[in-house]
Amino acid sequence: MNMLDNKVILITGGLGTLGRSAIKMFLDRGAIVYACDRIQMDAYPATQQLLYQYGEQKFRFMQADVCEESNMISIIDEIENAYGRLDGTYHTVHTNVWKPVLELTLAEWEATIRGTLTSTFVVNKYALPLMIKSGGGSIVNTSSILGQIPSKGCLAYGAGKAGINQFTKVLALDYAQYGIRANVLVPGDFGSTESLAAQSEQAKAAMKDNAMLGRSANADEINEMACFLLSDASSYTTGALFTVDGGFHL
């Protein structure tokens, strides 16, 4: 039996680096996947091909901005109508602007907080009722090592990601009685197979200096932890932060 057999899982940011990797991994491990993103799937033919490979009983996609409440309501309604339940959510959406405070505009601050922390609020708020109705489930919110370690110019993004950490801990406490587990995935530097192959020598050298394992992660390595947290193998795990950064934080 696969780790995620017949679990209905929502992946937000499904066409980002983590999202595309997660869609394929979760489908290969038996999950029923519903993914969404603001951009159209035809920009990523390999992911689009999974629609034909697995069919809509196993994989569906909606173009949507999960910061918008109406979009999340539509997503959850479609999941309930199609599958009758929701067993897990994997939230990977983010927005980032690298500027120190004196150069950061209020609009940039608000856009970054909206894309990180507010999106987490909206996704969790509207996914929770169906998960509770389904008898419980697992929430995985993606933070970042930059929500724990300060980096120059990473003001708004770092604050938003730090907020996700505390948000998820409180969520876990509030809804444990309903069989809901909520954990935070805290990745370090990562990329797709293609982007890592094209990584500059300067970037590779920086990772050798800053990470104990001396390299960036492939997105699949990050999603192995997400897969664990969404599966029954982590049934006694909630309210925790799981750092997958190659030792960058030490």
User: What is the phi/psi pair of residue 69, to 5°?
Assistant: -60, -40
* Whether the Cβ atoms of residue 143 and residue 241 lie closer than 8 Å to each other: yes
In the set 157, 175, 178, 236, the catalytic residue is 157
At 137 the three-state DSSP class reads strand
* Whether the Cβ atoms of residue 211 and residue 7 lie closer than 8 Å to each other: no
Give residues with Cβ within 8 angstroms of 4, minimum separation 6.
26, 29, 30, 31, 227, 230, 231
Element (H, E) at 26: helix 17-28
Task: Report DSSP state, residue 16.
Answer: S
The verdict on whether 52 is a catalytic residue reads no
Active site members: 157
